[in-house]
């Protein structure tokens, strides 16, 4: 199967669809997870970016690229790039890196979602350190026991940036940056648009058809 780049507004379902692909043997590279890991470990980078990420603003392009590059060099294909690239400059850095690494066997999937639906998904989202994700606003996504993970039993947490204020910055930033990125991938015939308002299973089927 081909590798995939997910470009989508916040809370469009990149994480959930990535977990489904991980079950098929994909390596998941999430820019947001890599940055949150730096913050949790209180590295020099983590300390410098904590406030930026909590406010929903973008971290410096070259810093994020360095993390993505190191990860890409260390993993098995096929991979999922989730949340990268997010600016046209990152897109060009990635293009250069793909050239150097001889990577061309990939597709780009845009998960299309309305602002209202994405906001609801973000505000209801609870996550576990094991990677599982839940949503208190959807009956089929609630944990069996309030506040605890079905898979490992640990306490669930809410992301620091899943509040209305930070969400609106993240959504606005996304909209401001996405057009040239989509045009770039459309021009090289890599872009696919999938309706993220469909059920999770329908979206997964559509993604599989694209990546086969």
Nearer Cβ to ligand AMP (86/121): 86
Contact call for residues 203 and 194 (beta carbons, < 8 A):
yes
Stretch that binds ligand AMP, among 29-37, 91-99, 105-113, 200-208 (CB under 6 A): 29-37
Stretch that binds ligand AMP, among 53-61, 101-109, 143-151, 195-203 (CB under 6 A): 53-61
Nearer Cβ to ligand AMP (99/172): 172
Q: Restricting to residues 81-110, name those near ligand AMP by CB under 6 A.
A: 83-84, 86, 90
> How crowded is residue 5: how many other Cβ atoms within 10 Å of its Cβ?
24
64 lies in the site for ligand AMP, by CB under 6 A: yes
Q: Which residue is nearest to ligand AMP (CB)?
A: 32
Nearer Cβ to ligand AMP (121/146): 121
In degrees and rounded to multiples of 5, residue 125 shows phi and psi of -75, 135
Nearer Cβ to ligand AMP (28/86): 86
Nearer Cβ to ligand AMP (50/190): 50
170 lies in the site for ligand AMP, by CB under 6 A: yes
- Minimum separation from the CB atom of position 212 to ligand AMP (A): 26
Nearer Cβ to ligand AMP (53/191): 53
31 lies in the site for ligand AMP, by CB under 6 A: yes
56 lies in the site for ligand AMP, by CB under 6 A: yes
3-state secondary structure the chain: CCEEEEECCCCCCHHHHHHHHHCCCCEEEEHHHHHHHHHHCCCHHHHHHHHHHHCCCCCCHHHHHHHHHHHHHHCCCCEEEECCCCCHHHHHHHHHHHHHHCCCCEEEEEEECCHHHHHHHHHHEEECCCCCEEECCCHHHCCCCCCECCCCCCECECCCCCCHHHHHHHHHHHHHHHHHHHHHHHHCCCEEEEECCCCHHHHHHHHHHHHC
**Interface positions with ligand AMP (CB under 6 A):** 10, 31-32, 35, 52-53, 56-59, 64, 83-84, 86, 90, 161, 170
């Amino acid at each position: 199967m081909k590798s995939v780049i997910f470009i989508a507004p916040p809370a469009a379902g990149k994480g959930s669809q990535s977990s489904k692909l991980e079950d098929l043997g994909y390596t998941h590279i999430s820019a947001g997870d890599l940055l949150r890991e730096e913050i949790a470990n209180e590295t020099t980078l983590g300390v410098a970016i904590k406030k930026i990420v909590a406010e929903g603003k973008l971290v410096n392009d070259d810093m994020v690229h360095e993390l993505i590059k190191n990860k890409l060099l260390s993993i098995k294909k096929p991979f999922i790039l989730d949340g990268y690239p997010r600016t046209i400059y990152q897109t060009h850095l990635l293009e250069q890196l793909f050239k150097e690494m001889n990577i061309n066997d990939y597709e780009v999937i845009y998960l299309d979602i309305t602002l209202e639906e994405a906001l609801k998904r973000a505000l209801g989202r609870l996550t576990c350190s094991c990677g599982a994700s839940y949503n208190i606003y959807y009956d089929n996504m609630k944990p069996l026991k309030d506040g605890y993970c079905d898979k490992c039993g640990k306490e669930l947490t809410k992301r620091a940036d899943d509040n209305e204020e930070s969400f609106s910055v993240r959504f606005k930033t996304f909209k401001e940056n996405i057009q040239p990125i989509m045009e770039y991938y459309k021009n090289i015939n890599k872009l696919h648009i999938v309706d993220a308002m469909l059920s999770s299973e329908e979206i997964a089927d559509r993604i599989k058809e694209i990546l086969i």
